[in-house]
Amino acid sequence: MQRVVERILNLLAFLLTVGRPVTAEEIRNTVNGYDQPSDEAFRRTFERDKDLLRRLGVPLHLEHTDAWEVEQGYVVSPDQYALPDPGLTDEERTALWLATRMVRLGGQAPGPGAIFKLGGAPIAAAGDPLTADLGAEAETLAEVFRAVTDRRTLQFEYHDEPRTMRPWGLVHRMGHWYVVGEAAKDKRTFRVDRMSAITVGTKAGAFERPKGFRASEGFPDAPWEAGEADVEVTVRFDAEVAWWARRQLSNAAHVVDAGAGAIDATFPVASPDAFIGWMIGFEDSAEILAPDDLRRRFVEHVGAPG
Amino acid sequence: MTSPRTADRLTRILSMLPWVIANPGTAVDEVCKRFGYERAELLEDLNLVFVCGLPGYGPGDLMDASVDDDEVVIDMADYFARPMRLTAAEALMLLAAGLAVMSSGAAPPALASAVAKLQAVVVPDEGTVEIDLAAEPETLDLFRGAAREGRVIAITYTAIGSGSTTEREIEPWGVFATLGNWYVRGYCRLAQAERVFRIDRIRTAEPTADGFSPPDEPPSPVVRYTPGVDDVTARIRLSPRSAWVADYYPVSVVDETDGSKTIDFSAGDPSVAARLLVRLASTASLEDGDEVAEATRELRERILRRYG
């Protein structure tokens, strides 16, 4: 490891100071640590080192070394390399560090690398125990996030269909991550954990983001409020689940007493599928009273052979 | 592939150097505390930096890194005077963690200003990433406070579905949010074991006069369900349309072909798998698991009976 670390520091120091694209050959002849005996051994070592640099977050690019575009060389621009200084105080660094201890994303606590880049944290106190788990799909999310921040288009598959979107923002709501943006000329929302085969566009700044756009704007409160349908439903909740249903219904619900502790709630539903899934959680302690076609659809769904 | 430890070590070195350059004369202990170094580790990294530098690699080309009078000295390293940019994953993690803790209502004031400053450098504007953990149950603060003070709470807990209600005394260790719900975890005196309760299913919660001392290091919470010995397992075949279930629940995938998946789904009670199967309807099928098959049939009949 010692030798790898030394070689990378030498390579990075060289790339940050040389001020022009340099070919692999020049790096081999100039930088300490590339004394591999064969071309093949050098190539392998250099490939590994490039991967490592990119993993660290070093913006390593290829550019033509001359106006005739004969050869390509590697460039690291010092300005792109450097973190724009957010100007954090030690108290703010500590608060951020504690927050990373309390939140899990991608199934595990993140390493301290990000906080180190910001100047480390003089740790004053142990944090509260874990407060939130933001889901497992960290790698996909980081890709989507990169597309959002660099304004790159996103291509992916969703319910087996290819989609292209201009991502404007990310929202975490009720346990899931959503990406919001423009697709097929409409404002659309996709659940990140249902996206697959994601490709991030190569061009940064590929579109304009609406100024002051808030990702959660117009975002539905409950899953059955996301969608295009617009149905008003009335549901009877029996006494043993009424208190729980009440907690989950939004203010848009109109609730009347149905006797013996039961309630009848009337509320809008935009996604019948999500609504049916939610209703099954109540087993036989709740019943769709209206409308008839949704009631029929529910019965068909429950009766479908598994 | 280079080991992740190499990457971590480089990140720490490339973060420590700019900080020391910007804060000359900092004591060894302070640098150690800030970057999580043991003294010997820091000295090892400084020795390593000392032999690196620019081509030529003579005394005038190498960086100067040493300890003088218990202060860390870095010189001739101007090209490393600025810290490295955050990767997309790092920036997202910091931002998400900050926003999530702010959304949980447990944030110190410094966090809000830290997040605002971070947003200014990593996202186009502050509406780019937004986090809303879950609607906060009214009793959240009660449990959070009880965990801090070591106070026993008496609860009535209703299992939705079975409808069974129990009264318990619990020793709360902490609260957390996941998958859109808030949970309290701790020691349940009724079960005489560690338990996790969904807070919105706790019907009543009253502080008692009783106290407890929390474990020094409470085990990391089981946020997602982990199988236990008494579990009922079902083998379920998911069509491409229901394949998301495999990512959503803690299941083991035993086969995967053309977008279809076969999973083993375990839970303490067959009704959990039954509800899932009824919900998935024709997009999934049960391949093996008699208890679950029976529970699913029973659940279907019970619901359909209600709809006459």
Task: Render pLDDT for B251-268 as a digit per residue (tens, 0 to 9).
Answer: 778 888 887 889 988 877
Residues forming a β-bridge with B178:
A133, B181
What are A191's two structure tokens?
Answer: 């659940």
Q: Which of A190, A283, A288 to mutate against chain B (most B CBs within 10 Å)?
A: A283
Rounded mean pLDDT of B99-122?
87
Judge if pTM exceeds 0.90.
no
Q: What is the pLDDT of residues A157-179, one digit of tens each?
A: 987 789 999 999 888 876 778 88
Domain hosting residue A125, numbered range: 90-133
Q: Which of A204, A219, A234 is the last residue of a domain?
A: A219
| Residue B126 contacts residue B116 (beta carbons within 8 Å) | yes
Position A14 scores a pLDDT of: 97
- Are residues B196 and B245 located together in one domain of the fold? no
Q: Which of A242-246, B218-222, B298-302 has the lowest mean pLDDT?
A: B218-222
Q: How far is B249 from chain A (nearest CA, A)?
A: 11
Q: How far is B208 from chain A (nearest CA, A)?
A: 23
What are A267's two structure tokens?
Answer: 């509320």
A97 phi and psi, to 5 degrees? -60, -45
- Are residues B20 and B66 located together in one domain of the fold? yes
Q: Which of A185-194, B23-32, B61-70 has the lowest mean pLDDT?
A: A185-194
Helix ranges (H only) for B80-179 are 88-103, 109-122, 140-149
Q: What is the pLDDT of residues A105-161, one digit of tens each?
A: 876 666 788 999 999 987 655 556 667 778 767 778 888 999 998 999 999 998 778
User: Does residue B224 sit within a domain?
Assistant: no
- Are residues A181 and A246 located together in one domain of the fold? no
Rounded mean pLDDT of B113-141?
85
- Are residues A204 and A157 located together in one domain of the fold? yes
Residues of A in contact with B177 (CB under 8 A): 131-133, 175
Cα Rg, chain A, nearest whole Å: 27
- Are residues B95 and B75 located together in one domain of the fold? no
Q: Give the CA distances from residue B221 to residues A104, A107, B186, B251, in Å, rounded to whole numbers and listed in that order.
A: 11, 12, 9, 18
Q: Quickly tell me which residue has 């980081």 as its tokens.
A: A142
| Residue B171 contacts residue B187 (beta carbons within 8 Å) | yes
Residues of A in contact with B113 (CB under 8 A): 92
Domain hosting residue B102, numbered range: 88-122
Q: Assign residue B192 a region: left if phi > 0, alpha if psi is -120 to 50, beta otherwise?
A: left
Across the interface, whether the CB atoms of A283 and B304 are under 8 A apart is answered no
User: Does residue B222 sit within a domain?
Assistant: no
Angle between helices B39-50 and B4-22 (to 10 degrees): 80
Domains held by chain A: number: 4
Q: Which of A203, A219, A235 is the last residue of a domain?
A: A219
Q: What is the pLDDT of residues A29-58, one digit of tens each?
A: 999 999 899 999 999 999 999 999 998 989
Q: Give the CA distances from residue A168 to residues A181, A207, A292, in Å, rounded to whole numbers and listed in that order.
A: 5, 10, 39
CATH of the domain at A257: 3.30.70.240
Residues of B in contact with A130 (CB under 8 A): 174, 176, 220-221, 223
Position A253 scores a pLDDT of: 87
Those residues whose C-beta lies under 8 Å from the C-beta of residue A274, and which sit 6 or more positions away, are: A223, A224, A226, A227
User: Does residue B131 sit within a domain?
Assistant: no
CATH of the domain at A197: 2.30.30
HSE, side-chain direction, 13 A CA sphere, residue B70: 3
Q: Quickly tell me which residue has 């083998």 as its tokens.
A: B235
Domains held by chain B: number: 4
Predicted ipTM beyond 0.90: no
Q: Is residue B226 predicted with pLDDT exceeding 50?
A: no
Q: Which of A98, A102, A103 to mutate against chain B (most B CBs within 10 Å)?
A: A103
Q: What is the mean pLDDT of chain B?
A: 86
Position B227 scores a pLDDT of: 47
What are A169's two structure tokens?
Answer: 């923002």
- Are residues A63 and A22 located together in one domain of the fold? yes
Q: Assign residue B171 a region: left if phi > 0, alpha if psi is -120 to 50, beta otherwise?
A: beta
| Residue B101 contacts residue B107 (beta carbons within 8 Å) | yes
CATH of the domain at B35: 1.10.10
Helix ranges (H only) for chain B are 4-22, 28-35, 39-50, 88-103, 109-122, 140-149, 245-248, 270-280, 290-306
Q: Using CB atoms, which residue from A31, A96, A284 is nearest to B303?
A: A284
User: Does residue B220 sit within a domain?
Assistant: no
Rounded mean pLDDT of B187-215?
87
What are B101's two structure tokens?
Answer: 């803790």
Spatial distance between the Cα atoms of A223 and B306, rounded to a whole number of angstroms: 25
Q: What band does B249 get if pLDDT is binned at 50, 70 and 90? A: low
DSSP conformation class of B27:
B
Q: Is residue B221 predicted with pLDDT exceeding 60?
A: no
User: Does residue B227 sit within a domain?
Assistant: no
Nearest alpha carbon to residue B307 among A249, A270, A290: A290
Across the interface, whether the CB atoms of A137 and B30 are under 8 A apart is answered no
SS (H, E, C) chain A: CHHHHHHHHHHHHHHHHHCCCECHHHHHHHCCCCCCCCHHHHHHHHHHHHHHHHHHCCCCEEEECCCCCCCEEEECCHHHHECCCCCCCHHHHHHHHHHHHHEEECCECCCCHHHHHCCCCCCCCCCCCCCEECCCCHHHHHHHHHHHHHCCCEEEEECCEEEEEEEEEEEEECCEEEEEEEECCEEEEEEHHHEEEEEECCCCCCCCCCCCCCCCCCCCCCHHHCCCCCEEEEEEECHHHHHHHHHHCCCCCEEEECCCCCEEEEEEECCHHHHHHHHHCCHHHEEEEECHHHHHHHHHHHHCCC
Q: How far is CA B253 from the centre of its chain?
A: 22
User: Does residue B288 sit within a domain?
Assistant: yes
User: Does residue B179 sit within a domain?
Assistant: yes
Across the interface, whether the CB atoms of A5 and B277 are under 8 A apart is answered no
Q: Which of A59, A81, A103 is the last residue of a domain?
A: A81
Across the interface, whether the CB atoms of A103 and B224 are under 8 A apart is answered no
Spatial distance between the Cα atoms of A199 and A72, rounded to a whole number of angstroms: 25
Across the interface, whether the CB atoms of B248 and A193 are under 8 A apart is answered yes
B128 phi and psi, to 5 degrees? -70, -40
- Are residues A12 and A43 located together in one domain of the fold? yes
Rounded mean pLDDT of A222-249?
78
Position B69 scores a pLDDT of: 92
| Residue B211 contacts residue B187 (beta carbons within 8 Å) | no
